Each structure stands twice: as C-alpha cells, then as structure tokens.
Amino acid sequence: MCGIWVALEDIDAENSPLHYPGSHKLPIIQLHDLGLTGTTVKPGINYNKYTSFVAEWLQEQGFKKVDISLSKGQAIVWSANLFHGGNPILDLSRTRHSQVTHYYFSDCLYYTPLFSNLPLGQIHLRTIKNIATGELVPNVYNGDILNPDSSSGNAPREPSSLAAGTPIEIAVLKQRLEKTEAELRRSQDKIAAMESSKLWKLRSQWFALKQKLGWD
C-alpha cells in the first residue's frame, strides 16, 4: 500500500508541516514485538502503546524529524511502512486542509496488524472492494488466493487461523529471522566500535593485570 497526500492549501511551519524521518527501511514492527496480542476489542489501547514504542524506537535509532512545507496543489507519496505525521498548528487562525488516498496494489495480501497474531498463524484478512467495479478484491500471496469471509463486509472480526506451514506463516518466520539478523548486525557493529576504542583497550589491560595478580 502507498499513501498520496495532496495539499489543498499552502503548508508551512505555522500550520502543521508534515515530517518524514526516512524510516521505511527499518524492520517492520508487529504487536508481538511489544508483547501485545492483536484483537478487535478496544484496538485503540494497543495502538497507543504501539505509537509510544515507535516514538522511542525512532529516537534510539537516531532518526531525525524532517519538516516538509508544501504549496497548494503539491502532492507527496509515501510507503505504507514509512512513519509519518504532522506538527500541531501554531497559527490557530489557519487550517491544513488536504486530501489523502491510500492505494492498495493488486495481487497482494491485505491484513490489519492491530487485529492479527502472526506468531500464532492468525491473520486478520481485510475485505477490499474495487471502487470502480464494486467487486471484492481477493487476498493473494505468491499466487495463492486467500479470500476473507465476503459476508462480513468491512466489519472487524477475530483473526482467522492458518495451519502451520502455510505460506503466510513461513513469511512471518522469515520476517522475524530478518529482524533478528538486523539486530545481530547492529550488536556486532556496537561491539566492534567498543573494541576499537581506547577505553575498551584500557579496561582489557586492567582485567588482564588483575588476573595475573590474582585479584578478584
């Protein structure tokens, strides 16, 4: 999915410019990474915890907020995985009217993370309609069609269970592996930086001396 945001009036520092920290290359965060369970009951609670986690995570990763001012009629396109938002409006006499459209790509899997439990193989498939034809759009994963219950429309429902070994579960495990590998690489980089520092060398020499002297 991608989003297209069109400014219907000039946007500057006084009426809430947008910001994009360039975070779409980060590993995708799921609720299980936060120790939360996906549910259709009061999903707002999970969402608040999720946004708080993301704010701290971006700060820890060193991402900087970049404000973007637009002229009336300009448009921006962002990836679904890009963390984005707007600032408070400083000039209360002004507005920030805009038009936003989310576009789903064809032959994709459409699901709601806040309602899903991926480690359990439970994924909340969404019911997507083609606005031009009114027809339901099937969920597709690697050529396999996975249709949600067409009778439920767009109403929230509990995640459907998928048997172990399905393409979706394999994709989930692959994603978790990629995330773990990324975390491992970051840890290795930190260790390499520490080992090359003078402080680390001095501490190593000090511990070696203590061992020779028999000090605890």
CA dist 10 and 68 (Å) reads 11
| CA neighbor of 30 nearest in space, from 130, 162, 171 | 171
Q: What is the mean pLDDT of residues 66-94?
A: 90
Which of the four pLDDT bands, split at 50, 70 and 90, describes residue 153?
Answer: very low
Residue 182 pLDDT > 50, yes or no? yes
- For 92, 140, 194, 197, 198, the CA distances from 211, given in Å and listed in that order, are 67, 62, 21, 22, 20
* pTM score, whole prediction: 0.59
Query: Is the pLDDT assigned to residue 146 strictly greater than 50?
Result: yes
3-state helix, strand, coil in the chain (%, to 5): 35, 20, 45
Q: Where are the domains of the chain?
A: 2-163
Once rounded to an integer, what is the mean pLDDT over residues 107-112? Answer: 86
